[in-house]
Amino acid sequence: MLNDVNKTGGMVEYSYGAYNKFDENEQYIRITEGCPNNCPYCYEPTEIKVFEIPEIVRNDVKIMDMNILCKGEALSIINHLGSQKVNNRVVYYQLICGVDWRFLTQDLADALHKNRRNRRCKGSFKDVKRRTEAFC
């Protein structure tokens, strides 16, 4: 557990590490932590860590990683996840934590499209070019 002082002077705890929880319908995973941006309002550590990819056991997976696209391993992680099946059915993924679209490359966009990111997700990649240009 990482402790930090928030802007009001109180202690804030930040839990870090790999995460793999699931219920009968969904699985929540965290494969990486860290972000190079060091935003003053965010408690994500700046040190980048990559954990072992857990066994995928549900067809609906929520990826809890903060800013996964900034990791050097992002392309291999996305491709590995895309190769997974559960009960001979494809797995759909959602990025549900912060994503800095400035790290999105054409290779990452192609991999996200190919590897079944969930279209219902707020961070869908349907308009990749428009979203990327908005941040550049």
Pairing of strands 27-30, 60-63: parallel
In a domain, 61, yes or no: yes
pLDDT digit string (tens) for 14-72?
656 899 999 999 999 999 998 898 888 888 888 899 999 999 999 999 999 988 999 99
Q: Are 94 and 120 in contact (CB under 8 A)?
A: yes
pLDDT at res. 132? 46
In a domain, 6, yes or no: no
In a domain, 11, yes or no: no
Spatial separation of the C-alpha atoms in residues 119 and 44, rounded to whole Å: 26
Spatial separation of the C-alpha atoms in residues 102 and 8, rounded to whole Å: 31
For the chain, what is the domain count? 1
In a domain, 2, yes or no: no
pLDDT at res. 101? 86
Produce one character per residue of 58-88: b if its CB has 16 or more CB atoms within 10 Å, e if not: bbebbbbbbbbbbbeebbebbeebbebeeee
12 confidence band (pLDDT: 50, 70, 90): low
The CATH number of residue 22's host domain is 3.30.750.210
Q: Are 81 and 55 in contact (CB under 8 A)?
A: no
pTM, whole model, 2 decimals?
0.74
In a domain, 12, yes or no: no
pLDDT at res. 89? 93
In a domain, 36, yes or no: yes
Residues of the domain holding 128? 17-135
